[in-house]
Structure 1
Amino acid sequence: MTNERLHSQIQDILGQVPSRITPLSGGMIGAVYRVWFEDGRSIVAKVAEQSAAYLDIEGYMLQYLAEQTQLPAPDVLHSSDTLLLMTFIEGRSAFNTATEQHAAELLAGLHNITWDNFGLERNTLIGPLHQPNPPTKSWIEFFREQRLLYMSKVALDAGRLPKNIHARIEKFATQLEQWLIEPEQPSLIHGDIWTTNVLASNGRITAFIDPAIYYAHNEMELAYINLFNTFGETFFKRYHDLRPLEPGFFEERTHIYTLYPLLVHVRIFGGGYVNSVDGILRRFGY
């Protein structure tokens, strides 16, 4: 989409004339821009060329967080398949002790929000990939079918995951009950907390962006954070104070849960992420 067309669309939708449009980094689904107006205010526009870009799903997820939680996130001004307009929030993806503690408090609060099932009322996205969320009573069953086996098959069908590793995942998936535990209740998770999806300023988290929400075991979120080193020891200590972790998380379960984001990365990027998946399977004897 040209700047002229984006300029025209924003004027039609918001009734305000943009004065300047500048590109921002990020955006796996589409290009991202900061849009300025004459009064000094600015918003964020995410734009996708293809008609099936599903930016409306990202809009839905942000609106869900706004309506159901206290998690700081951009407000949605407009969403469609190909255009998402959001409030601009100041912040950088750089964290200190204070911001890690604040992140732990915010996510512990998010994880206190529950539902009757694991999954969600509709399917969502993780990055550019479809994420199925059929409501399911058992967490282990949901993780097995809708996360581990589903994304392994997606990566296999895309030619990114070798057949022998997919077969090993299928065998491993039959034995998850040996290591995983059912939580007392489902927890709402952001689902994609790596460094550039978190903004901070002056010792406070200002926004979590690019969500991939669903109701899960809260350990799923923590495993993702641990895998990508989004936050460190300060975060986990504060989180544990608020929502104590069950024994065995760091020793065993975090490795199992990281198979899902690793398979997502295998599907998108391939390369060395396949070796990471192989290493986890070998760790558990598969």
Structure 2
Amino acid sequence: MLKSWSYCYETFTSNPHHKSMSAMTLSMPRPFRSSRLLAAGTHLMISLAVAAAAAWLVFGMWYPYPYREISGGRELFFIVIAVDVVLGPLLTLTVFNRSKPVRELRRDLSIIGLLQLAALAYGLWTVSVARPVHLVFEMDRFRVVHAIEVPDAELDQAPPELRHLPWTGPTLLSMRAFRNDKEKVDMTLVALGGTPLGARPGLWQGYEKARIQVTAATKPLANLKTRFPAQAGLIDAALKSAPGADRPEAALGYLPIAGRDKYWTALLDLNTTEVIAFVPIDSF
């Protein structure tokens, strides 16, 4: 059997018409092809298990609903995972050869595993720095603030309890009022330059401190249905799945949400200003 594998290998390396992987695989005896496919399949199963664990981390902790939609976490994660899951098994399919010395085969597979882990670690790091950390009430809207948008040098300007960015999903905050006209002008100019007001740690405060402003800015839910009659069913479905679904419609309101490149709408209880549901409607 080893002689036949050696013959196939010599035939492959000496014949320019058999340089492709598919041709090499077809020229090999069935037991050899089976062992190679088995190794690649096993590697694929392991990769999928690791991907499932990574998905729990990303979607269960960093990008809970609806932020996987608003912040684009799902697309970014699947790009990373698709490359990683495909890369490892394909490399194993390419290099696996039982005729190699055991030490050499272990070395090759170890290198593939390390490359795959490095790619996964880099991909998860990229997803983590883009994760949403706060949902901030910003004068007349909510803004999803992402870790990468927050200036690290300004974190010590935030209230002590907000100086560490969360890893378990966004927290609900509000933006305090400007202290004077100069601060208002300075902050507005910075916002025009690309850093949203809601991403400035020095402006953060607890959400409960802005309940009066939130109530004043919130619009009646009936207005949203009037503006988007085709989405009334979507709005009702979101409210049915929300806690306390028996609230009367007159006690509900909405505010727009600005994401990274998407716009959604938050549904609120007018009595408590609690955010109770989200709908994929651009209500700006």
With the shorter chain as reference, the TM-score category is under 0.3
Instruction: Name the structure where helix makes up a greater proportion of residues.
Output: 2
TM-score by structure 1 length?
A: 0.23
Higher relative contact order (CA 8 A, sep 6+): 1
